[in-house]
Amino acid sequence: MTGSPGTSHGIRLAFLFTPQTVRNTTRDFLQKLHGGTTCYSFDKPTAAQNAADFSVKGEIMPVIVVANPKGGVGKSTIATNLAGYFAKQGKNVMLGDIDVQQSSRSWLRLRSPSLPAIASWEIAEGTIAKPPKGTTHMVLDTPAGLDGKRLQDAMRIADKVIVPLQASIFDILATQSFLQNLLNHRSKADIGVIGMRVNIRTRAADQLAQYVSNLGLPVLGYLRDTQNYVQLAALGATLWDLAPSRAEKDAAQWNELLQWVER
């Protein structure tokens, strides 16, 4: 073990923690540290960091990036519920957030310890820490206005990119150049679009499907406009934390997206 939690110059931070504290951020965790039995090590990332860093014993862990340059389209809703789905499946999932508003990280602080655990993927000053051993899935929430180096860094590690998009012509036009940029720089990543707050029986849904199809991208389904997501977010919870009978209608709208993510 190199360095120590008390040093500021170490290239490696190593610390012990228990399952009860796995959902805390690194800073919060170090303040609350009282011992444990599991040792995780975070390596300071370098400019040469790439997808090979995100592996354990040669097994690549999928990195799913949720992105759209427009604010208020539902990126955090997708990121938190996707992480919640993996947690419900018993996966060791980490949720990261490079949005200055830190919506996903704030949501993690609201999450009850009695719910399936979601760990915070530590991201500071634009650098992404290597995930600890045992991590199986990683979900990355991104800010409005994502472009330039931040976009390149996210795309370099992404296996899947989900673009939440509302069906209005204004949202489509605002996202047009971003989607084209993704297509030009996607390297290994698969890209898909999920319609947000869309009634599938409307002309707007047809318009969105035609636009995305013309780009050669899949539409991964349509999520309806409902207060369920708002109310669950306030509790640090997801659809998958509800009894199946209460979430059945909304959960069914995720089927296509989940199948695509798990390919």
Q: Which residues contact 262 (CB under 8 A, 6 or more apart)?
A: none
Tokens of 171: 């949202």
What are the strands, taking DSSP E only, across 126-197? Answer: 127-128, 137-141, 160-166, 190-196
Tokens of 78: 């997708």
pLDDT confidence of residue 145: 81
Better-predicted residue by pLDDT, 59 or 184: 184
% of residues, the chain, pLDDT over 70: 73
Better-predicted residue by pLDDT, 155 or 237: 237
Buried b vs exposed e over 14-50: b needs ≥16 C-beta within 10 Å? ebebeeebbbbbbeebeeeeeeeeeebeeeebeeebe
Helix and strand tally (H, E) in the chain?
9, 13
pLDDT confidence of residue 232: 96
Tokens of 140: 């990355």
Q: Is the pLDDT of residue 7 over 50?
A: no
**pLDDT per residue as tens digits for the range 218-228:** 999 999 999 99
Better-predicted residue by pLDDT, 59 or 208: 208
**pLDDT per residue as tens digits for the range 158-203:** 999 999 999 988 999 889 989 988 888 777 899 999 999 998 888 8
From residue 174, how far is each of 68, 166, 221 by CA, in Å? 9, 11, 20
Q: Which residues contact 213 (CB under 8 A, 6 or more apart)?
A: 219
- pLDDT bucket at 213, cuts 50 / 70 / 90: very high
Average pLDDT of the segment spanning 237-241: 97
Provide the mean pLDDT of the chain: 77
From residue 243, how far is each of 25, 82, 88, 222, 249 by CA, in Å? 28, 17, 12, 22, 12
pLDDT confidence of residue 143: 83
From residue 52, how far is each of 123, 159, 168 by CA, in Å? 18, 12, 39
Tokens of 93: 């999932």
Sorted by where each starts, the structural domains of the chain and their CATH numbers stand as: 54-261 (3.40.50.300)
pLDDT confidence of residue 81: 97
- pLDDT bucket at 60, cuts 50 / 70 / 90: low
Q: What element of type H or E holds 41?
A: strand 38-43
pLDDT confidence of residue 44: 37
